[in-house]
Each structure stands twice: as C-alpha cells, then as structure tokens.
Structure 1
Amino acid sequence: MLLETGMREEGLFRIAAGASKLKKLKAALDCSTSQLEEFYSDPHAVAGALKSYLRELPEPLMTFSMYDEWIQASNISDPDKRLQALWVICDNLPKAHKANFRQIISFYLSVMNMPVEQ
C-alpha cells in the first residue's frame, strides 16, 4: 500500500496519523484480520504502524548483542572493507531479524528507485 499510493503523500513518515486510527490499525494487525481496507486511504496510519512496530520490538532489529560489531564495522575507514564487514554482520543476524531487515531494505530500495512526480 505504501509503495502503491503512500509515496505521493507529503511527510509520509514525518506526519503522524490520528492516535485512534493508529490504535485501531494496530489492533487489526495484531488480530491478523483481513479487514484492512479502511486503512488503505490513510498512508500516514500505515507508515505510523510500521514505525510503531519497529519501535516496539522487544529487541532492536540489529540486536543488542551485535551492537559492538556494528560499531566496529562502521568505523572501518576503507569503504570496501566496511561494506564487507557489514555484510558479514547482516548474515549473522538471527533469522527473524534478517527477514525483517531484508523487507525494510527492499522497501527502501523500491522507494529510492521510484520516479519523482512533479
């Protein structure tokens, strides 16, 4: 939904959705309900739910235990070696974290390749 219609919204991840609508969407997602059509017209609610999901994970996507590895890799001055170190760390993420990270990166790359409408 965000890729199909949300990218035309100004301030998509900046402008907050209404609290009651966001709460209702999160409840619908928690129940795995298929009745999400009412939220298709509000990309701010969908973006808000995504941000909330990431914020409320019990452990950060990049994991507490790997924090030092991320910092060490990011401090490597040679760009090729830094990228290689980051790939290794990504590959060592727990399976669920890696799947979430892959989806977020895929979404980001899709957004970055979208033509800008004028």
Structure 2
Amino acid sequence: MDCLFCRMVAGDVPATVVHETDRTLAFRDINPQAPTHVLVIPKDHHATVGALAADDPDLLAAVVRAAADVAVQEGLATADGVEPGYRVVTNTGPAAGQTVHHVHLHVLGGRSLTWPPG
C-alpha cells in the first residue's frame, strides 16, 4: 500500500482523528494553513474528486456530509451550516497542488479567509 491515507485508514500511520464514520475519516492536517485545518477522506481509495464522483457518488456525498459535520464539531458552523463560516477545498492533480493522490477535502476556518486563495 503506497497511499499514505490508505495506511492511515488501516491504522498503520498515526493520525489525530476528529471524526469517523463507517465510510469516512477526518483528521488534523500536519501542516495547518488555518487555525482549524482538518482533512476529510473516504476510507475507500479514489485518486481524485472526479474519480470519486464517477465511481461512487453516494460516497462523495458522505465525504461532504462528514466535512459539514466536522465544521459544526469544530465550531466553524452552526447546525444549519452558516455561522461563523469555513472553507472546503479539494485539489485535483499536481498543477492544483494535490500531493497525496487519495481524494481529500480540506476543512479550513478559525480566521478570516481571503479570496482568491492563491
């Protein structure tokens, strides 16, 4: 298993897990770009968000639901998903900055986030 995130799911690589379902795992980023920076992944391997959408749209929905749950849990959103606010980002491919080729959503918040991001 070459995939870092697959090894995390298997328990072979430690992670600071903040949320878990039967199909998703969420853990703190080791190089946070905001006061709150959590990665949300599907437990099944899919290289990109496009591949996940094509292969298993229900799992993509579960990953997005998990990201919303993390935002509420971390105090970035209320139960209705609004205040104070957060950003969900996914990078696809090397030109976009994807360094681990297992789809993951970045949940970012805890400070004012500027736009455009980079």
| TM-score between both structures, scaled by the size of structure 2 | 0.29
Structure ID, larger Rg: 1
| TM-score between both structures, scaled by the size of structure 1 | 0.29
User: Quick check: which one's helix share is greater?
Assistant: 1
